[in-house]
A and B are shown apart, each in its own frame.
Chain A
Amino acid sequence: MARDLTLGQYYPVESFVHKLDPRVKFIIMTMYIVGVFLVKHMYGFIVVAAFAILSTLISRVPILSVLKSLKGILFIVIFTAILNVFFHKEGRVYFTIGKLLVTEGGVFFAVKMALRLILLVLGTTLLTYTTTPMALTDGLERLMTPLSWIKIPVHDIAIIMSISLRFIPILMEEVQKIMKAQRARGAEFDKGGLIKRAKALLPILIPLFISAFRRADELALALDARCYNATPNRTRYKKLKFTYRDLIALLSGISYIVLIVAINHRFWIPDLIYSIPFV
């Protein structure tokens, strides 16, 4: 399990999506998220879902792995859906449970919100699956460069981010090691009630903190020893390049947004389809 988490969630295969410039991926991700919040009609949702599914197919990450990320939010999705069903009252009443009304509008609203959440997570998961943490911070730093004109220390922020990201897998490995060592001494982490379990974490957390501080100290020393400072004009090991792939990706991102807005405002789209129920 350690290694699965070791590289963030990065899924190492070669694909069109993996090769995209991280900046472009960020921009498209932003477009995608905007789209997820803009859609109103069910047909719009089909466009968003199609965009997500197509991207996943192109990325060659198994759809099942991407779907796994939904496990974590399943509870929230169901919970908010139930709340939405009951608190949104509009249109035809399907049935009542005590004083609670289940209406047509409520059901649609709930389904749409649930879909939004699911699509949101799917899209962002794909980003972390296809981009290494290093590329992510690098891309983000480049995109934030304009902020440095108003004296925001973009480079420092980026280096802090990438160091933190770099250390997550190391600390995860450390946790595994410490857990093993304590289990060898008879510790159990999955037995007993809440309080007992919380207490059982101490033998992991204390060594973990100590080692994290030790590592931070060592890293600071090592940076100092190499005269590191975040001068703005550092050169880079990996140059980001904008290629025809990025152009294609950007264009499809733009068409995606246009399509969603068009569906929302009923441009070009024959009125006929809006007459079908549930949109």
Chain B
Amino acid sequence: MSIKVKNLSYTYSPKTPYEHKALEDITFTIEEGETVGIIGSTGSGKSTLVQHFNALIKLQSGDLVVNGIDLAAKKINYKELRRDIGMLFQYPEYQLFEDTVAKDVAFGPKNFGYKKEEIDLLVKEAITLVGLDYEEVKDKSPFELSGGEKRRVAIAGVIASRPKVLVLDEPTAGLDPVGKREILELIHKLKSAYVKTVIMISHNMDEIAEFTDRVIVLNDKYLIHSTTPDNLFRDENALNGTGLRYPHVVRIQNLLRENGLDINLEKFTVDSLINEIEKEVFKKDN
């Protein structure tokens, strides 16, 4: 179970006045078990890239092998591919349409050909996993839920088909800080218990720094980095010219260092930052 991308390029509306190159010569590999973050400024091609993984966008040039399926082949088993690569779009609550939550979550499993009894189990499991009370919400209309709850239902709708890879396009966009945190923790939980591989697009560097073990950086249709958050954020010039900023914890760490505190974060989390500061201040006091 891996995703191998080689020399992939993509152009929207080729050979028209609206022709637009969105990706150019992209090469990287994602192995099973990884949590990969994809970052890049607006329009750098992130969404275009991930939509290749489940063939929502047809491969134009280059090679792409997903889960052993060669997407350059003439005949592709789309059902199998899309079942294995679960994809959550930006603002996924706008895709809800059934009159009850349970039915909406069952949409995917039904399409992918799971059996009736299986579907009931999968739906129940998925709704519970995303932290909702199955009995309470199953007969509710998805439209009477809160924004955060809707997003959970949408996530449940994706994981109910038991994908092996979960691709999330800005899963926390438009939520308040608490909601963001909850969704991130949910993704983290899913990763350790349910899906093997997670690929997450995000504009929030702190999320990326904290939750991923590899970062792919796109800049204006080119891939410019594919490395650990550690390597990326320690290199002070890595994001030059991309319009991206470093995570807050890294920027605070750098400022403190410039001002004489010897801080070296092990993990890019606020907790770790506080710990380090406490340690340093404690040392100075003595």
B12:A188 contact, CB within 8 angstroms = no
Q: CA A4 – CA B13 in complex, angstroms? A: 7
B223 within 8 Å of A (CB atoms):
no
B161 within 8 Å of A (CB atoms):
yes
- We find that the number of chain B residues with CB closer than 8 angstroms to chain A is 29
A203 within 8 Å of B (CB atoms):
yes
B51:A180 contact, CB within 8 angstroms = yes
A138 to chain B, nearest CB (A): 22
The segment from A84-92, A107-115, A205-213, A258-266 found at the interface with B is A205-213
A181:B89 contact, CB within 8 angstroms = yes
B78-112 interface code vs A (CB 8 A; 1 in, 0 out):
01001100110100101111000000000110111
B16 within 8 Å of A (CB atoms):
yes
Which of these, A4, A183, A188, contacts B56 with CB under 8 Å?
A183
B158 within 8 Å of A (CB atoms):
yes
A210:B143 contact, CB within 8 angstroms = yes
Q: Considering the complex, which residues of chain A in the window 93-110 have a beta carbon less than 8 Å from any beta carbon of chain B?
A: none
Q: Find the residue from B13, B54, B95, B111 having the highest chain A CB count within 10 A.
A: B95
B20 within 8 Å of A (CB atoms):
yes
Which of these, B13, B82, B94, B143, contacts A178 with CB under 8 Å?
B94
A211 to chain B, nearest CB (A): 6
Q: CA A211 – CA B143 in complex, angstroms? A: 12
Q: Find the residue from A11, A180, A211 having the highest chain B CB count within 10 A.
A: A180
B282 within 8 Å of A (CB atoms):
no
Which of these, A7, A12, A185, A202, contacts B157 with CB under 8 Å?
A185
A186:B83 contact, CB within 8 angstroms = yes
B96:A207 contact, CB within 8 angstroms = yes
Residues of chain A contacted by B161 (CB below 8 angstroms): 185-186
Residues of chain A contacted by B56 (CB below 8 angstroms): 180, 183-184
Residues of chain B contacted by A12 (CB below 8 angstroms): 17
Closest to A188 in B: B111
Residues of chain A contacted by B111 (CB below 8 angstroms): 185-188
B97:A184 contact, CB within 8 angstroms = no
Closest to A181 in B: B95
A13 to chain B, nearest CB (A): 7
- Contact A180 B97, CB 8 Å, known A3-B13, A185-B157, A185-B161: no
Residues of chain B contacted by A148 (CB below 8 angstroms): none
A198 within 8 Å of B (CB atoms):
no
A186:B82 contact, CB within 8 angstroms = yes
What would 20 A/B residue contacts be, using CB atoms closer than 8 Å? A3-B12, A3-B13, A4-B13, A4-B18, A7-B18, A11-B17, A177-B89, A180-B51, A180-B89, A181-B92, A181-B94, A181-B95, A182-B107, A183-B82, A184-B54, A187-B107, A203-B95, A207-B94, A207-B96, A210-B143
Residues of B whose CB lies within 8 Å of any CB of A are 12-13, 16-18, 20, 51, 54, 56, 79, 82-83, 86-87, 89, 92, 94-97, 107-108, 110-112, 143, 157-158, 161
Q: Nearest 9 CB-CB pairs, A to B? A: A186-B111, A206-B97, A181-B95, A185-B108, A184-B87, A3-B18, A186-B112, A181-B89, A203-B97
